[in-house]
Amino acid sequence: MVVVRGLQKMKLLQELSSKLNHLFLLELCDGNRIEAVFYRGDTLCISTQVGCAIGCAFCISGKEGFLRNLTEVEIIAQYELVRSKLPVKRIAMAGIGEPLMNWKNVEKAFWYFKNRGIGVSFYTSGHPTVRLRELLRLPHGGVTISLHSVFEKKRKALMPHGGALEEVIRTLKEELVELPVRKRRRISLAYMLLKGLNDSEEELIELAGMAKDLGICVTLLRYNKTVDEYEDVEENDYERAFLLLRSYGIRVTLSTRFRRDRIGGCGTLAVNRSLTEC
Ligand code: SF4
């Protein structure tokens, strides 16, 4: 019932398809807009907030700052609307917003999906860590914690309100030992390579040490350019980083072509734009 009400309040304004992905521009009852992306033929990346307070320097989703939390109904309604058109089998809470900063509504939506047999994965800065602990204990389909730098100062510059790196790592250490190996394998550190900024051998070796210490894998991301100041690395450098991490025995997941698409989800979705700007 809740969902029907939500659907009436959420309007599908526009759809945009690339060869790989399908982007939905949605208008909320107060006129704010959010976006959701269907990718990989079965997964819907949804938004959890209008705007984002983390303010990652390389991300277009946070450029307007934080406007408001989505309600539980608005989070669910993205799925209900898209599943009437496409076969959504999985949800990724990786669109606009930091899921942990809208925890009450995100958690309720999580259980709505879970009770319908839909797996849910998360992308998060890890902040606030008290919520990160709760998230890690849920029966989720994967949690990826964005680092983007292993140095406190640099990470703060890249993710100004993403919490202290040291606290995120300490929380992971404390929580991971409590989890069975099967569940630990679903948790990874996201590291997006930015040319000349965080792609040095020194930093990658530190990253390898951190992942090894935690016993989890690294999701090595390419930058989907949405902000002028930052550049993606060359293919050779991406491969070099992959091989270096592998040489330290780290499991590494690479950016898929779906994520590298210009409407590839995390970091590429915007608030209150018209799709002609894409
Ligand atoms: S990358 Fe994620 S956490 Fe960072 S500003 Fe964008 S939406 Fe927020």
User: What is the reported pLDDT for 275?
Assistant: 60
Angle subtended at Cα 209 by Cα 204 and Cα 210, rounded to the nearest 5 degrees? 95
6 pLDDT tier (thresholds 50, 70, 90): low
User: What is the reported pLDDT for 61?
Assistant: 84
User: What is the reported pLDDT for 108?
Assistant: 98
User: What is the reported pLDDT for 278?
Assistant: 47
Q: Average pLDDT, whole number, for the chain?
A: 91
Residue whose CB lies within 8 A of the most ligand 1 atoms, among 64, 66, 98, for a mutation test: 98
User: What is the reported pLDDT for 2?
Assistant: 40
Q: Which tokens in the block code for residue 82?
A: 């898209």
User: What is the reported pLDDT for 1?
Assistant: 35
User: For the segment 19-33, what is each residue's pLDDT rounded down to a tens digit?
Assistant: 889 999 999 999 999
Catalytic member of 35, 74, 98, 175: 35
In whole angstroms, give the CA distance from residue 59 to residue 53. 12
146, pLDDT greater than 60: yes
Catalytic member of 107, 266, 277, 278: 266
User: Is 175 an active-site residue?
Assistant: no
Range with lowest mean pLDDT among 5-14, 29-38, 85-94, 216-225? 5-14
Q: How far is the centre of ligand 1, averaged over its atoms, from the C-alpha of 60 (Å)?
A: 8
Section 137-145 average pLDDT:
97
User: What is the reported pLDDT for 3?
Assistant: 46
Section 79-89 average pLDDT:
96
Q: Which tokens in the block code for residue 267?
A: 């970091």
This prediction has a pTM of 0.92
Q: How far is the centre of ligand 1, averaged over its atoms, from the C-alpha of 247 (Å)?
A: 30
- Establish whether residue 54 lines the binding site of ligand 1, counting it when its CB lies within 6 angstroms of any ligand atom: yes
User: Is 35 an active-site residue?
Assistant: yes
5, pLDDT greater than 60: no
User: What is the reported pLDDT for 268?
Assistant: 65
Section 187-207 average pLDDT:
97
In whole angstroms, give the CA distance from residue 159 to residue 55. 6
Q: Do strands 22-27 and 33-39 pair parallel, antiparallel, or not at all (unpaired)?
A: antiparallel
Task: Please answer whether residues 125 and 159 qualify as being in contact, where contact means their C-beta atoms are separated by less than 8 angstroms.
Answer: yes
Helices (H), 185-228: 201-214
Task: Please answer whether residues 6 and 77 qualify as being in contact, where contact means their C-beta atoms are separated by less than 8 angstroms.
Answer: yes
Burial 238-250 (b: 16+ CB within 10 A, else e): bebbbebbeeeeb
4, pLDDT greater than 60: no
Task: Please answer whether residues 145 and 187 qualify as being in contact, where contact means their C-beta atoms are separated by less than 8 angstroms.
Answer: yes
Sheet of 90-93, strand order: 11-17, 22-27, 33-39, 43-45, 90-93, 119-124, 143-146, 187-192, 217-221, 252-254
Q: 47: number of CA atoms within 13 Å, CB side?
A: 34
Query: Which residue has a Cα nearest atom 4 of ligand 1?
Result: 56
Alpha-carbon dihedral sign for residues 131, 137, 143, 148: positive
Instruction: Give strand pairing partners of 26.
Output: 12, 34
Q: How far is the centre of ligand 1, averaged over its atoms, from the C-alpha of 52 (Å)?
A: 6
Range with lowest mean pLDDT among 87-91, 100-104, 111-115, 269-273? 269-273
- Establish whether residue 265 lines the binding site of ligand 1, counting it when its CB lies within 6 angstroms of any ligand atom: no
User: What is the reported pLDDT for 20?
Assistant: 85
Domains and CATH numbers, the chain: 2-272 (3.20.20.70)
